[in-house]
Amino acid sequence: MMTGKEYKESLRKRNIVVYLQGKQIPAKELPDHPFIRGHVNSASVTYDLAFDPAYENLMTATSHLTGKKINRFTHIHQSVEDLVKKVKMLRMLSLKTGTCYQRCVGFDAMNATYGTTFEMDQKYGTHYHERFKKFLEYIQDTDFMVSGAMTDPKGDRSKRPSQQSDPDLFVHVVEKNDKGIVIRGAKAHMTGMVNSHEMLIMPTMSLKPEDKDYAVCCALPVDAPGVLHIFGRQSNDGRKLEGDIDQGNAKYGIVGGECLTVLNDVFVPWERVFMCGETDFAGMLVTRFASYHRQNYGGCKGGVSDIVIGAAAAMADMNGYAKASHIKSKINEMIHLTETLYACSIACSAEGVQLPSGQYFVNMLLANVSKHNVTRYIYEIDRLAQDIAGGFIATLPSQADLESPEIGKYVEKYFKGVDGVSTADRMRVARLIEVMTGGTALVESMHGAGSPQAQEVMYSKLANLEAKKKAALKIAGVKVED
């Protein structure tokens, strides 16, 4: 297993081609680039904690291939306990980082490919599974980070891959020979790709026989000839060039550092090809990957929500209204929603089943319910955090203003909360809440023209509740005075 330091140094040895804001970034400089550094730091935590006795039980496993101790992110689930430990590990890591640590996608891709190749070989007499096991053993021995690459650009969504006017909008095989295949296309929204070592290419949807060239699953280094990566933008990413207060989560960043990965006639040797034309298994691979990945979200987003809850509660302390009953009620609701997310991920793991390959797979229904809950509850958790924090989280001056010899004293004076808490610390928590919950536009909708509590006070006065009570009592047959 690698340490976090060894992981970072290994990234400098790649010949990866990455473009950021129109310019190519030298490979050796990538781990230190302000836009990428936080993502590297968060992934490093997954390496370092594997050596911490307090977290060893969650962070490591025993390889079923070699019997060696390995990082859990390179493991194939061998029991329901493994599935449950995965979710617990993800929540713990989110509590440590407050963000995405990027290894989940490759983890889930490897588990999905493992079982699917086994069943392909059973039906067709192919050798994909043995090839994949050799690749997996290589990943376990090196402790390399794998980026799962499923999502294609897709082009015209009403058309199948083989019907597109531009065939490259889905990754496809353009050549086969006795040494391997050549693929062309692109993969979009690739989490952690620029700070990974390998990528695992998968189909993006169920396929029909006419889509045969698009039924491809294979592994290749992120710096293979013909591969280039275009790093995506994030909200407020310009702050990464500024002070650490303004970044919110300066050490680990926000979200996962996604990119567009372009594959310009990339050669893949046969020993790294795990599907080539078997359209009837594309849907299985996609479904299994999606289910494993959706299992995660109550864990990782539960842990991220723990940080949002903590930040909101801390801000209530700093602002002096933590004891107000409506604040306590809102924090309790945030806790309830977060634990509901987590419970569903634990449930889909506890209801796991064994596949023909011997590995364990989640309950698909509950895994999908878990992820669907995240698409709703996170917004409510974040809305409540913005409500509790107050509108100033979206109108704060910068760290440079706080530190300015000319105007710093005014920022210090007028953005102070309760006695005993520094303005700088209050600003740090405010920025953390801002960047973790969506930023200025949503906060303005929440607090512009008055906070929700202010509206509650007014409509409780204006709604003529006594008249409503009398009307209800009359209908119920209770005598009331007019």
Report the amino acid identity of residue 142: T
Of 137, 271, 351, 444, which residue is the catalytic one?
444
Q: Which residues of 94-117 are buried (b: 16+ CB within 10 A; e: fewer)?
A: bebbbbbbbbbbbbbbbbbbbbbb
Q: Is 444 a catalytic residue?
A: yes
Whether residue 186 contacts residue 171, with contact meaning beta carbons closer than 8 Å, is answered with yes
Q: Is 258 a catalytic residue?
A: yes
Whether residue 423 contacts residue 411, with contact meaning beta carbons closer than 8 Å, is answered with yes
Q: Is 127 a catalytic residue?
A: no
Half-sphere exposure of 117 (CA within 13 A, CB side): 25
Partner residues linked to 149 by β-bridges: 201
What is the rounded CA–CA span in Å between residue 90 and residue 293? 12
Of 33, 47, 101, 104, which residue is the catalytic one?
104
The terminus-to-terminus CA distance of the chain in angstroms comes to 80
State how beta strands 259-269 and 227-231 pair: antiparallel
Of 100, 218, 276, 348, which residue is the catalytic one?
100
Of 198, 258, 278, 434, which residue is the catalytic one?
258
Q: Is 406 a catalytic residue?
A: no
With residue 62 as reference, give the H or E element that holds it: strand 60-62
What is the rounded CA–CA span in Å between residue 285 and residue 211? 15
What is the rounded CA–CA span in Å between residue 107 and residue 144? 11
- Concatenating the DSSP letter of every residue in 152-206 gives ---SSTTS-GGG-SSGGGS-EEEEE-SSEEEEEEEE-S-TTGGG-SEEEE--SS-
440 marked among binding-site residues: no
What is the rounded CA–CA span in Å between residue 421 and residue 366? 44
Of 114, 128, 297, 360, which residue is the catalytic one?
297
Of 300, 344, 348, 447, which residue is the catalytic one?
300
Whether residue 432 contacts residue 244, with contact meaning beta carbons closer than 8 Å, is answered with no
Of 191, 204, 261, 437, which residue is the catalytic one?
191
Q: Is 259 a catalytic residue?
A: no
Partner residues linked to 389 by β-bridges: none
Of 293, 377, 434, 437, which residue is the catalytic one?
293
Whether residue 409 contacts residue 372, with contact meaning beta carbons closer than 8 Å, is answered with no
Question: What positions carry a catalytic annotation?
Answer: 100, 104, 191, 258, 293, 297, 300, 444
**Binding residue numbers for FAD:** 191
**Binding residue numbers:** 191
